[in-house]
Amino acid sequence: MKKRLAAVTTFGIAFGFIEAAVVVYLRLHFYPEGFTFPLAEMPGPVILTEVAREAATIIMLACIGWIAGRRFLDRFAYFAFAFGVWDIFYYVFLKVILGWPESLLTWDVLFLIPSPGWDRCSHGDRLRLPHRSKSGHTPARGQADQ
């Protein structure tokens, strides 16, 4: 049991770093002046990739629970534990790398699943898929609402 818990903890910490690294790259590209709300609109392929990455994250955490546990309740408990370790260390690594979040009360986008517009963010803003013209052009930030 101790070895399994140590392995699940190690996985959660390492996976938290991987997720933080992805967010560092996304923020450098979409928020070069720093992360703020309202959210920058992302091209459709990026949003779809992010939703798929989130689904893969949950699947990987569930697989760790499945591998570590023997019965359903044990598997769920390991999944929940791995999820908690992953989430905590995701923010620990963001704090170390970016100095963000500034506090435990700082707003963030939690999940894009079940849909990119589902999760309410700071000040009631919503993440929206970018509008595309018939030519496939995505308007610059702020032009889609006009």
Q: Is residue 47 part of a domain?
A: yes
Q: Is residue 143 part of a domain?
A: no
Q: Is residue 44 part of a domain?
A: yes
Q: Residues in the chain, how many?
A: 146
Q: Is residue 130 part of a domain?
A: no
Q: Which domain holds residue 92?
A: 2-124
Domain count, the chain: 1
**pLDDT value at residue 142:** 45
User: Tens-digit pLDDT profile for the chain (146 aa)?
Assistant: 899 999 999 999 999 999 999 989 988 888 887 777 777 787 888 888 888 998 999 999 999 999 999 999 999 999 999 999 999 999 999 999 988 887 777 666 665 565 554 444 433 334 444 444 444 444 444 444 44
Q: Is residue 141 part of a domain?
A: no
Q: Is residue 137 part of a domain?
A: no
**pLDDT value at residue 145:** 42
Q: Is residue 134 part of a domain?
A: no
Over residues 86-114, the pLDDT tens digits come to: 999 999 999 999 888 877 776 666 655 65
**pLDDT value at residue 136:** 45
**pLDDT value at residue 111:** 59
**pLDDT value at residue 110:** 61
Buried b (16+ CB within 10 A) or exposed e, 34-52: ebeebbbbbeeeebeebbe
Q: Are 23 and 111 in contact (CB under 8 A)?
A: no
Q: Is residue 77 part of a domain?
A: yes
Q: Looking at beta carbons, which pairs linking 89-98 to residues 24 or more positions away fall under 8 Å?
A: 89/12, 89/13, 89/16, 89/17, 89/20, 90/16, 90/19, 90/20, 90/23, 91/20, 92/16, 93/16, 93/17, 93/20, 93/21, 94/20, 94/23, 94/24, 97/20, 97/21, 97/24, 98/24, 98/27
Matching residue, tokens 């569930």: 62
